[in-house]
Amino acid sequence: MARALSVKELDAKKLPALRLSEEWHNMVGEVAPTGVWFVWGKSGSGKSSFVMQLCKELCRHYKGIYNSLEEGISLTLQNSIRVNHMYEVNSRLAFVEESIEELGARMDRRMSPHFYVIDSFQCTGLTYKQYEEFTKAHKNKLIIFVSQADGFKAKGRTADAALYFATEKIWVEGFRAQTYGRFFGPTETYTIWPERAQAYWGAQEKANLIIK
């Protein structure tokens, strides 16, 4: 049995932490460098651009892999890397289209990259038990699942259960990301595209005023 820690001992314990740049810190604060993040939102919400921008930020610290299961190595993916200027991180981020089993084998390699984006959860075919086994087997990595949405929920029972237990939960709507996870910063939000976010949320405010 492990020794119990007092409040003072726990507070003094040096735990691994990742300090992101200001605009990201404003949303999630100081975060653990490992664990499971879950990003979900409806089509056209800015979710893909958010994930690309998150990858660019993480590439300041680590190398990563983007597993494009939903779109594949496609023209839409190519357009996304161009729009988000991903050439700025070039060799620090690689793109693949492979099964969870293949990705797991890649993650097990010596000196493998630290973070992994899996887009989308629905395309993995994982059961909840398989999801648990996969994330536990790679608990020394940062795994980011991207998910389709059904209303405010992740689409599908397995995805919604995975969302519930994720370390960090990020909802994307109207080109703005909002954290609902275990880490949060001063604003708890991140703006993906200012002009589009302003247009979307401005229209929402007008609609609410009309309803009132």
List of domains in the chain: 18-211 (3.40.50.300)
Walk along the chain (212 residues) and give the pLDDT tens digit of each residue. 878 999 998 899 898 999 999 999 999 999 999 999 999 999 999 999 999 999 999 999 999 999 999 999 999 999 999 999 999 999 999 999 999 999 999 999 999 999 999 999 999 999 999 999 999 999 999 999 999 999 999 999 999 999 999 999 999 999 999 999 998 899 999 999 999 999 999 877 665 655 55
Structure tokens at 5: 């820690």
Q: What is the pLDDT of residue 1?
A: 84
Whether the Cβ atoms of residue 164 and residue 170 lie closer than 8 Å to each other: no
Long-range contact pairs involving 181-186 (C-beta distance under 8 Å, separation at least 24): 181/28, 181/37, 183/28, 183/29, 183/30, 183/31, 183/32, 184/27, 184/28, 184/29, 185/25, 185/26, 185/27, 185/28, 185/29, 186/26, 186/29
Q: Tens digits of per-residue pLDDT, 156-177?
A: 999 999 999 999 999 999 999 9
pTM metric for this prediction: 0.93
106 conformational bin, left if phi > 0, alpha if psi -120 to 50, beta if neither? alpha
Q: Output the pLDDT for position 211.
A: 53
- Please tell me the predicted confidence (pLDDT) of residue 204: 72
